[in-house]
Structure 1
């Protein structure tokens, strides 16, 4: 039996390239460089990243499986838009997932992990003084992911990251709202204080309140999100 090893290597190389490209495009989407509704042209992407269209198509298929883009046949792909009701539903679930992460993290927190989370918060505070919203958003992501990992529940952390990526562009837009940066810092401190007091219920509530969109926060976000950036 003849085995075409060359073809097998080509398929592996294409898959690896597609996964790398998927990650790069995911970063552009979650940081809102590629905003919801943006059309993704295969040829333009291929030229930008200096690859053929084959890994581009595979990368877009992978992103569609993550619900980050919508494939429209011959019309191509677009960065997925989330309607208001679906977005609110996602934030409700996000608040529960992150709240659970915080609850478990509090119960399983080590001094080293708490120190890491505190250092990330300190770094976020310093970043807020520079006015660099991109860096603020990145450090904020690291703060939350440190808590996901501290839950010591890999499945929960994975599912939380998946949903976080789906709403990342909208969470970033929230960071642009007037007063939101200082509000975020105050809420992060409340989460850390709950960790220090070893109060799992309070940790859950502090994180849940931080992530959930409700009341005036929801109304402000919907009004802000309806205006062009």
Structure 2
């Protein structure tokens, strides 16, 4: 039961139903999910441990609110991993089919709400990592996944990037990889990530000022 609550709360956070800073109290969660308070507490502790919630001693748990500095660091870390993956893939002109499938899904969601493209967008970028066929690199990237989802959910919830633009940039990246143009592919991916990261960072700064 604890894991079921954790999974549902994760979904609600990543779809922006539970926005950054939203408070989550044990008593209210217990009533909502019709479980004992210790069960609700265990679910909250799980999410605090994974970094999706924050809670100081004797305080209410809240959905983690990313700072602009967090966002820049997360996207910089992504760039380190993903650009090297792209360089390696371009060396053999290997554009992962799984990435194409994910981007086709994004393209098909042109009329959907922006938040709905978060998961296929993550699948696109994960496909670049998975194509290296390295369990260690994949594990390291997975450690960033929750942070990436938080970033992307906030980017899309704020409608900072259009679905059409994301799909177009993805398609261009795959074309460059397939053509074996490693330098251009890396440069394109760096711009793609840097644009999203800085737009979100600037959005968070404006939120604080307002």
1:94–1:164 contact (8 Å) kept in structure 2:
no
- Map residues 82-121 of structure 1 onto 2, 5 A cutoff: 82-106=66-90, 114-121=96-103
Cα distance in 2 between the residues matched to 1:168 and 1:75: 25
Partner of 1:69: 53
- Map residues 194-209 of structure 1 onto 2, 5 A cutoff: 194-209=176-191
Alignment gaps of 5+ in structure 1: 1-16
Which TM-score applies when normalising by structure 1?
Answer: 0.75
Partner of 2:127: 146
Kindly report the root-mean-square deviation, in angstroms, between the aligned alpha carbons of the 2 structures.
2.8
Cα distance in 2 between the residues matched to 1:166 and 1:49: 26
Cα distance in 2 between the residues matched to 1:148 and 1:49: 37
Cα distance in 2 between the residues matched to 1:109 and 1:65: 40
Deviation string 1:163-192 (CA, Å, 9 cap, x unpaired) is: 231242332232343553232122101221
Matched, 1:58 2:42: yes
Q: Which SS does the other structure have where 2:20 is aligned?
A: coil
Q: Which SS does the other structure have where 2:105 is aligned?
A: helix
Report which of the two structures shows the higher radius of gyration computed on alpha carbons. Answer: 1
2:5–2:43 contact (8 Å) kept in structure 1:
yes
Alignment gaps of 5+ in structure 2: none
Higher relative contact order (CA 8 A, sep 6+): 2
The structure-2 alpha-carbon separation of the partners of 1:96 and 1:213, relative to structure 1 and needing over 3 Å to count, comes to farther
Aligned residues: 206
Quick check: 21-30 or 119-128, which moved more?
21-30
Deviation string 1:12-45 (CA, Å, 9 cap, x unpaired) is: xxxxx33333232222222222121111111222
